[in-house]
Structure 1
Amino acid sequence: MVRLIKNGTYLLRGDKVFEAKDRDSLCDLKGNPVSKGDLNVGEEALDRQKARRQTMAYQILNSHNTSGNPNQLKIRFDALASHDITYVGITQTARASGLKEFPIPYVLTNCHNSLNAVGGTINEDDHVFGLSAAQKYGGIYVPAHQAVIHQYMREMMAGCGRMILGSDSHTRYGALGTMAVGEGGPELVKQLLKKTYDIQYPGVIAIYLQGKPQPGVGPQDVALAVIREVFANGFVKNKVMEFVGPGIENLSVDFRIGVDVMTTETTCLSSIWTTDNKVKEYFGIHGRPEAYAKLEPGEAAYYDGMVIVELDKIKPMIALPFHPSNVYTIEELNQNPYDILSKVEEEGKKQINNPFISFNLTNHIVDGKVMVDQGIVAGCAGGSFENLMDVAAIVNGKSVGNEYLSFSVYPASQPIYLELMKNGAAAQLLAAGANMKTAFCGPCFGAGDTPANGQFSIRHTTRNFPNREGSKPGEGQISSVALMDARSIAATVIHGGCLTSAAEIEFTAPSHDYSFDSGIYQKRVYNGFGNPKPESELKLGPNIADWPAMVALPENLLLKVASVITDPVTTTDELIPSGETSSYRSNPLRLAEFTLSRKDPQYVGRAKAVQVLEKERENLVQAESKQAPAISEALQETIKQVFKVKGFETKDLSDILASTGIGTVIYAIKPGDGSAREQAASCQKVLGGWANISQEYATKRYRSNLINWGMLPFTLENALDKPFSTEDYVFVPGIRQSILDAEETMTAQVISPKGVYELKLELKGLTSDEKEIILKGSLINYYSR
């Protein structure tokens, strides 16, 4: 079904694959040795370095690279995209750094806080701010309910060979020939200030598709099958997934898009697909034929590895709580529901780690069948035209019923909604009892259709992390979400909530052509690109606040361990919860109150207590010595931790006060999976955080967010001999000079109630700009110099 080739591979003429066992020998997919002379390509074509340049990824990255060095990229994107829980902070950061106008098309959509239902007027205040920013700086503003961010970008902004940067992790338009990257807001700020996106040239992994999907199998099934194989082993982490192979021609563009958007859940950097006449037709339908170009690898392209996907062998899948990689076939779950759900229960309880929460999945087994309470098809992954057409065909003439089961569908844009109305599919959905709603991302992150306590929801959305869909462990609330394809969700709905694979039912996929009506956008979207109005005023609601002042990195750091997270992976949803907290993302101080609230509710209190001491230290240093107030007992006791450090020469209290910043650090094994939201890092910084310590970072974007907020992304040289506790301090002497000297390994001291011991910390791969950002204390300070 899906298998990995971990060695380098050559793709010849787009369809023949040969594994490079070593520098001089090749074999075919069956493991048979192959002579280079039998391949009908010259020896020069098989030179690895030259063949690396034959990938589509290389061609696009190189055309956007401004450094002149193909290994150290400085990328300028063609367009930017944000939604209404990120564009306020981005604009405010850029404005504080000298923004005059948006230099490239910047699309501000409103698809996350579009309900305007939490926190008084603050959500709509953000929308008003967004429109005023588009007018002042020359942006493109898409009002609420018009389209989810990624559907608008597909319909109106993607183009073959282009690159787009978005402040949402699911910024993926590879199926349309566009290399798109999801990053934290500060990376968009850099683009708005005419700076660059700086990365080392990434690895490129080929995703080789062959065969044709079976009836009932949809794009989510293919995506989940791939995620299952590549997530845990990090096979494509921070790499580009390049989709190639003869199977692509057997997929519609909507199907390709549905697979592509889920590549984020593999932790890859970006994606790109070969393009063909179906893509050409897509751009023609959307009134942008000039956006099409034929994209394909060169005659002999070399990849750092390959994922072979046999489309005809993939079955309908389900990703059980609490991750998109926790994947089974629906068939195997139905054959053995108790054992599988018991295992998921056990793992989930460890992850939730809350004795007051009753997490139960086996109670959803009734007479040997798995029963669900809710079905949702929504957002950038689920709300496509073809998905909803197939759902309508499956439920046509059936009934959702009038008991606990509920079913809602969300077309991804108003043009899709309009077409479903014109061809009768909307009527079929409504007649069956489905709730049909406007374009909205809420069901994906806990701001819409949140399940009841203890309920089990199946969704064609992008994520099913713990508590993401609205539950609150601190208040005894927990619900469970599984990811499935829209077709199997519809099949389950017409069977009264009994989990059913779409492969088990008979239905004929409708063949309606799609007609795109751009008039909807022409009537509602404000397009001010190239026409800024600097005289316009930004409209700032009472919840929109500037970032607090941030200080430069001190000479030494004394860090109190404020949280210890031992889960194998920590998501950004756990670092800063989604859902109702989204309403406060325009106010850094209020949002910071929610930091780790569902994972470690004591974190904020611990961090604030340390922040009080740092503020006192700063005041003492700024005051003249003869006027300096008496030092508090709490600060004295904290500073005295430094005197326990072996080999640190300074013994004068005033010297330590002047040279040693006091802050907090979070330890997590592998933090940062999931959303690109910068607030996962900025909220720590607002509360006095100076660093994370980890074994590794789950994604590049989270590590970048830490750096852009002036935080140190430490990794451990070796595994911990002793576990951290929240009683520990970590003293990092000479950290500022270490960064100036480009040291990548430094010795810290852990001061615990059990004694003092050394710890080797690493800061590897920092660029010169990243070092300067950390030294300055934040990206805002860096650009305000």
Structure 2
Amino acid sequence: TLLGSDSHTPAAGAMGMLAIGSGGLDIAMAMAGEPYHVAMPEVWGVELTGELPDWCSAKDVILEMLRRHDVDGGVGRVIEYHGPGLETLTAMDRHVIANMGTELGATSTVFPADDAVKRFLAQQGREDEFRKLHAADDAEYHVTETIALDEIEPLIAEPSSPGNVVPVTEVAGDDLYQAYIGSSANPGLRDFAVPAMMVEGERVPPAVSFDVNPTSRQMLQNLTEMGHLGDLYASGARVHQAGCNGCIGMGQAPATGRNSLRTVPRNFPGRTGTREDSVFLCSPETATASALSGEITDPRTLEDTHDMTYPEWSEPEAVIVDEAALSPPPDEPGGDLEKGPNVKSLPDFERVPDSLAGPVLMKVGDDISTDEIMPAGSDVLPYRSNIPKISEWVFDQVEQGFHERAEEQGAPWLVVGGSNYGQGSSREHAALAPYHLGMRAALAVSYARIHWQNLVNFGIVPLEFTDRDDYDAIEQGDDLELPAVREELQNGSEVTVRNATRDATFTAEHTLSPRQVEVVLQGGMIEDYKY
């Protein structure tokens, strides 16, 4: 098993482990010896058959899942892939699929630890660590599904949601400003080598920015050793420092309103660092074909337009392994904690009072992401350790200057959201920063798992509408009252809500466990741990 404070931690499910992403505080508490709690998910069995056709790759498989089920289809589930089609997918192909199970809302994604995993470990010089692990032959699943890999076609997610998936043919010919390969969603050697072989001897049109974000220093070394990095440079590609970079708005920001094709996992509004961006999600093949053509392109058409055959790629038996930046743990733990001038203490957390009353300072629709609640990007990320400063960007993607209204209002105030509120990144600042500004409760049709837990961890009461009509009846600015919130949280699952502005009363509910009720009433996990 693996716990990680990145929402894409489940990518490690490609190696046969149950890997779960969560907020940083959950992980810190687990490292301190506290148990990690998660609601028991259903298991969704997806059988893979056949083999992917030329010009399609693993990204098209997970895009097919998103096309079928959208961004909330995996909520409350672990996805387990099985079937004969697995034999055609490498460990890093599986990584691509497991990584973006997060975009389906899944708790995790699991593949068997089989010969593909053994080959990957051998490639990295770690074959002795391999342990075979797979589901029982008679395993039963709560939900079942089949994907015929040989029927997959090149797919693309249109702006601005990973769930807006259509065949590339539907948008082929559209204008292109940028094509971008790399990120946690396509980090494998083949995800750079295949594009490099596609552009060998070709030049990308000067009007297109062809950006390459290598996965790691090790990736750069191997691409250099194999000659692929030189081919990318010769094509006109811009090769950047290894890291998340443009995926999270740290560079490579596209022009306003211009189309950017990216192999990243998310295309939420403004995530690139450009407020009015237009980002499509696709495979490395589609991104590279589009870069070469100067417009969104079905990669299969390169056979006619560029007399190109699909590159033949096979994983090398061994690769350069770079451990130069890996430092061993110190012999003696501890030491003084030194804080720079931009490292501030956490806000004080208050116990939930007997009653709560405040205005709906923000009402948002369905599928609002943590990128919209608390953006990342080059302007914001330098202040991750400074909650008062980073709070200036709360809901900035929705309403510029929102924090000024929040500061003027003061605590307490509430947020009303639609379904799947808080999808996306595990960014706990999307709870911490609103709390600092005075948010004390949320009312949503439903929540994304990690953000829901982060709200609890930082003392914000997460309630759910029992009737969508109650959500529709509330307007931003309405004054809401929770007259007996503390008592009702302790004694049941229903909480009374009064809309004082409209003289209406309705019942909301919560799905908190008794432990979580205790945590949120205490003012969050830190306060609960203290006392």
Q: TM-score, normalised by structure 2?
A: 0.95
Q: Shift in Å at residue 299 of structure 1?
A: 2.7
Provide the C-alpha distance between the structure 2 equivalents of 1:390 and 1:246, rounded to a whole number of angstroms: 24
The within-5 A match list for 1:300-379 is 300-334=138-172, 369-379=173-183
Counterparts in 2 of 1:749 and 1:192: CA distance versus 1, 3 Å: same
Aligned to 1:684: 434
Mapping of residues 457-536 of structure 1, within 5 Å: 457-472=260-275, 478-502=276-300, 504-505=302-303, 506-511=309-314, 513=316, 515-518=318-321, 520-521=322-323, 523-528=324-329, 531-534=331-334, 536=335
User: What SS is found at the alignment partner of 1:302?
Assistant: coil
Q: State the match for 1:94 in structure 2.
A: none
Give the AA of the match of 1:758.
T
Of 279, 283, 289, which residue of structure 1 is paired with 2:127? 289
**What is the rounded CA distance, in whole Å, between the counterparts of 1:269 and 1:682 in structure 2?**
22
Contact 2:177 2:259 in 1 (8 A): yes
Q: In the alignment, which of 60, 70, 74 is matched to residue 221 of structure 1? A: 60
Task: Report matched runs for 1:169-248 at 5 Å.
Answer: 169-171=7-9, 172-231=11-70, 234-248=72-86
Counterpart CA distance in 2 for 1:290 and 1:775 is 48
1:438 corresponds in structure 2 to: 241
Partner of 1:385: 189
SS of the aligned residue for 1:408 comes to strand
Q: In the alignment, is the contact (CA less than 8 A) between 1:375 and 1:458 conserved in 2?
A: yes
Between the aligned partners of 1:513 and 1:553, the Cα distance in structure 2 is 57
| Contact 2:156 2:168 (C-alpha < 8 Å) held by counterparts | yes
Q: 1:182 to 1:555 in 2, by over 3 A?
A: same
Aligned-pair CA distance for 1:601: 3.0
Tell me the SS of whatever aligns to 1:562.
strand
Mapped partners of 1:425, 1:674: distance in 2: 33
Query: 1:511 Cα shift?
Result: 3.7
Letter in 1 for 2:460: M
Q: Please give the alpha-carbon distance, in whole angstroms, between the structure 1 residues aligned to 2:310 and 2:18.
A: 35
Identity rate, percent = 27
Change (3 A) 1:235 1:726: closer
8 Å contact from structure 1 (residues 669, 694) kept in 2: yes
Residue segments in structure 2 that go unaligned for 5+ positions in a row: 304-308
1:422-442 C-alpha deviation (Å, 9 max, x unpaired):
111111111111122231112
Distance in 2 separating the partners of 1:450 and 1:516: 32
Q: Note the 1:637-648 alignment, pairs <5 A.
A: none
Choose the corresponding residue for 2:514, options 768, 777, 782: 768
Partner of 1:706: 455
1:575 corresponds in structure 2 to 373
The 3 A distance-change label for structure 1 pair 775 and 331 is same
Distance 1:669 1:532, change over 3 A: farther
Indicate whether 1:727 and 2:477 are aligned.
yes
Give 3-state SS (helix, strand or coil) of 2:279's partner.
strand
Rounded to whole Å, the distance in 1 between the matches of 2:454 and 2:168 is 37
Deviation by residue 1:443-484 (Cα, 9 ceiling, x = unmatched): 112112000122211011111111111123xxxxx2211011
Quick check: which has more Rg, 1 or 2? Answer: 1
Any idea what SS the aligned residue of 2:507 has? strand
User: Equivalent residue for 1:428?
Assistant: 231
One-letter identity of the residue aligned with 2:506: L
RMSD between aligned alpha carbons? 1.7
CA-CA distance at 1:241 after TM superposition: 0.3
The verdict on how the C-alpha distance between 1:502 and 1:179 changes in structure 2, with shifts beyond 3 A counting, is farther
Kept in 1, the 8 Å contact 2:98–2:108? The answer is no
CA contact 2:489–2:495 (8 Å) conserved in 1: no
TM-fit CA distance, 1:263: 1.0
Q: 1:410 aligns with which of 194, 197, 213?
A: 213
The match for 1:456 is: 259
Partner amino acid for 2:514? S
Aligned equivalents of 1:176 and 1:512: distance in 2? 16
2: CA distance between counterparts of 1:552 and 1:373?
A: 50
The CA distance in 2 between the partners of 1:299 and 1:515, in whole Å, is 32
Contact 2:439 2:460 in 1 (8 A): yes
Runs of at least 5 residues in structure 1 that lack an aligned partner in the other structure: 1-162, 335-368, 473-477, 615-662
CA deviations 1:151-199 (Å, max 9, x no partner) are xxxxxxxxxxxx1111111112111111111111121122122111212
1:592 maps to 391
Tell me if the contact between 1:385 and 1:411 (Cα under 8 Å) persists in the aligned partners: no
Q: 1:675, CA displacement in angstroms?
A: 0.8
Aligned-partner residue type, residue 229 of structure 1: R
* Alignment partners' CA distance in 1, 2:396 and 2:116: 47
Q: TM-score, normalised by structure 1?
A: 0.65
Q: Letter of the aligned partner of 2:494 in structure 1?
A: T
Whether 2:234 is the aligned partner of 1:395: answer no
Separation (CA, whole Å) in 2 of partners of 1:437 and 1:713: 41
Q: Following TM superposition, by how much is the alpha carbon of 1:744 offset from its aligned partner in structure 2, in angstroms?
A: 0.6
Which secondary structure state, in structure 1, belongs to the residue aligned with residue 169 of structure 2?
helix
Partner of 1:607: 406
Amino acid at match of 1:527: P
Partner of 1:629: none
Query: 2 CA distance for matches of 1:180 and 1:598?
Result: 31
- Whether the 8 Å CA contact 2:484–2:496 is kept in 1: the answer is no
Encode CA deviations 1:62-109: one digit per residue, 9 max, x unaligned. xxxxxxxxxxxxxxxxxxxxxxxxxxxxxxxxxxxxxxxxxxxxxxxx
Q: Distance in 2 between matches of 1:299 and 1:248?
A: 15
The residue type paired with residue 289 of structure 2 is A
Superposed displacement of residue 239, structure 1: 0.7
Q: How many residues align?
A: 522
- Does residue 539 of the first structure (1) align with residue 378 of the second (2)? no
Tell me if the contact between 1:572 and 1:680 (Cα under 8 Å) persists in the aligned partners: yes
Asked if 2 retains the 8 angstrom alpha-carbon contact of 1:379 and 1:439, the reply is no
Shift in Å, 1:512:
5.9
Deviation at 1:705, TM superposition (A): 0.6
CA contact (8 A) 2:289 2:298 kept: yes
SS in 2 for 1:672: coil
Contact 1:283 1:291 in 2 (8 A): yes
CA deviations over 1:354-392 (Å, ceiling 9, x no partner): xxxxxxxxxxxxxxx322111100111223201111011
Whole-angstrom CA distance in 2 between matches of 1:744 and 1:221: 41
d(CA) in 2 for partners of 1:514 and 1:374?
A: 34
Q: 1:265, CA displacement in angstroms?
A: 0.7
Q: In structure 1, what is the Cα distance between the partners aligned to 2:346 and 2:332?
A: 25
Question: Equivalent residue of 2:230, what SS?
Answer: helix
Contact residue 733 and residue 748 of structure 1 kept, 8 A: yes
1:25 equivalent in structure 2: none
**TM-superposed deviation, 1:514:** 5.2
CA distance in 1, matches of 2:202, 2:128: 43
Distance in 2 (alpha carbons) for counterparts of 1:191 and 1:288: 27
Amino acid at match of 1:314: I
Q: Is the 8 A contact 1:213 1:311 kept in 2?
A: yes
**1:451 partner amino acid:** P
